[in-house]
Each structure stands twice: as structure tokens, then as C-alpha cells.
Structure 1
Amino acid sequence: MEQQAAAISDAESKVMEVLWRSGSAMPAEDIVAALVSGHQWQEATIKSLLNRLLNKGAVSAQKEGRRYLYTAVLKREHWLTSESTGLLDRLFGGRIAPLVAHFGQHRKLSKTDIAELKRLIGELDDDQ
């Protein structure tokens, strides 16, 4: 069954990144510890984000004793595909060439970037 990517906010994605990096169930206090210093968020903010993610079905919670363990349900690859497709659709009519052209015009692509793009295009040509 293909999983739909839930629409998650930028702040919620930070919580998801912690869970994705972990790869296993985490108690709220570990998630809070991973986010408090880097984002200067309060514990209550992080717990609110966890609850929003629970309501969206992006994470699950299992009670263990007096605490809950949180697990990412939404797979990072599914979310990344949804986000990148949405960006392309909204900003570039669903086309990749104008995106690359934009970066080429407004943010110089390094020689390494250009070489990698050429390599990827060559691989795509070989597959077709």
C-alpha cells in the first residue's frame, strides 16, 4: 500500500528529522533533548508539534509504562517526493528544466554541480 505524505509544516519536519535519523521509537524527552538547544524551542512547543504529527498520522505513539514512545510512520522518501513535487508544481509548472535554469541564473552552479547534472542526464538517457 502506497503511503500518502501528510502535509507537515517546517517546524514539524524538524521533529520528523529527529525520528527519521533515529530509525527507532523514541520517548518524548529524547526528542525534546534533540531539539531544544538547536532551535531554542520550549518543551511544550515540541510536545505540541508531536501531537499535531500524531493527529496527522505522520507518527505513532505506543505507551510504555508512564511514557510514550514515538515512531515515524511517514517515510522520509515519501515526504521528500511529495515536497519536491509540490515545489516543482507551484513554482515551475511541474518542470525540472526551469528549476535548474533558475539556479543557474541566480545562484551559480559549481563545476561539481554541473558535472553531476550531466552525469545524471546521461544516466537518464541510457535508461530510455
Structure 2
Amino acid sequence: MRNMTEKVPSISEAEWEVMNVLWEKSPQTANDVITSLQGQKDWKAKTVRTLLDRLVQKGVAGVNKEQRVYTFYPLYSQDECQRAEAESFIKRIYGGTVKSMLVQFIEEDSLSEEEIEELKSILDEKPKKKK
């Protein structure tokens, strides 16, 4: 079991595509992943295999080598990777403050009354941080 404070490795946009396939269904062979991506991406089989190898090297995906055909599976949940990516984005673009990001999105986006009410209820339910 992984230490929950362990940092999720950063993955590229192309690696996200492969991980989305693994999160949808796992374990899968490299050929399964290649087949799933064929309709979405114009990638050669070798490209997908390289991406799978990189994900294994980074420790984001695991590989079961006990069978004749290797199978791949995620080592982090989609939620864990999304949270890590969001934190990285907020640090890089907004200096680490969620408030700056939210203010910009709220000011620039035309939110419906329903969306505004939903955001208010989320904020109302969020426990307050102690200073």
C-alpha cells in the first residue's frame, strides 16, 4: 500500500490518454490499450507501448509479467491524478492560491443562477479552516 502523502508522479497529456483507458478497465494488455486508442488517436502501436513503458517507469502504472501476455493496470486512481494535476496547475499559474483561480473563472465565465447556487451550497458545506 502506498503512503498517502506520496507525491503522484507528473504525467504528460499523451500519458493521460493511456491512463484514461486503464482507468476505464483494468488490467489490459498493450494490444487492448492500442485498440481502445485507435478510434481516438492516430498513434502507432509502438507509440502506445512507449507510453505504457514510461507510465510503468514513473510508477503510475503497474505491469503483471506473470502471464504469457503482460497486462497493465493503474497504481493511482483517476481522482488522485486529477488532484495532483490540479494542485500543480494552481501552483504554476495562480501562485498556489485557489481563491485567485476561482475569482478569475467566476468573473470571466457566465454562470447560470443554478450553477451559482450550487457553488454557494458547496462553500456553505465546506468545513472552515482553523487559523
TM range (shorter): 0.7 to 0.9
Runs of 4+ in 1 over 6 A off after TM superposition: none
TM-score by length of 1: 0.87
Contact 1:27 1:67 in 2 (8 A): yes
Measured on the aligned residues, the alpha-carbon RMSD in Å equals 1.5
Instruction: Describe how 1:1-128 pairs up with structure 2 within 5 A.
Output: 1-2=3-4, 3-22=6-25, 24-124=26-126, 127-128=127-128
Alpha-carbon distance between aligned partners in 1 of 2:105 and 2:54, rounded to the nearest angstrom? 34
Q: Secondary structure of the residue that 1:79 maps to in structure 2? A: helix
The one-letter code sitting in structure 1 at the alignment partner of 2:18 is: V
More helix by share: 1
Q: Per-residue CA shift, 1:46-88, capped at 9, x if unaligned?
A: 1110011111111111125431110111222221111111111
Offset at residue 94 of structure 1 (A): 1.6
Q: Secondary structure of the residue that 2:62 maps to in structure 1? A: strand
Offset at residue 121 of structure 1 (A): 0.6
Give structure 2 stretches of 5+ with no counterpart. none
The farther-off stretch of 1-10 and 103-112 is: 103-112
Q: Per-residue CA shift, 1:10-55, capped at 9, x if unaligned?
A: 1001111111111x21111111111111112111111110011111
Number of matched pairs = 125
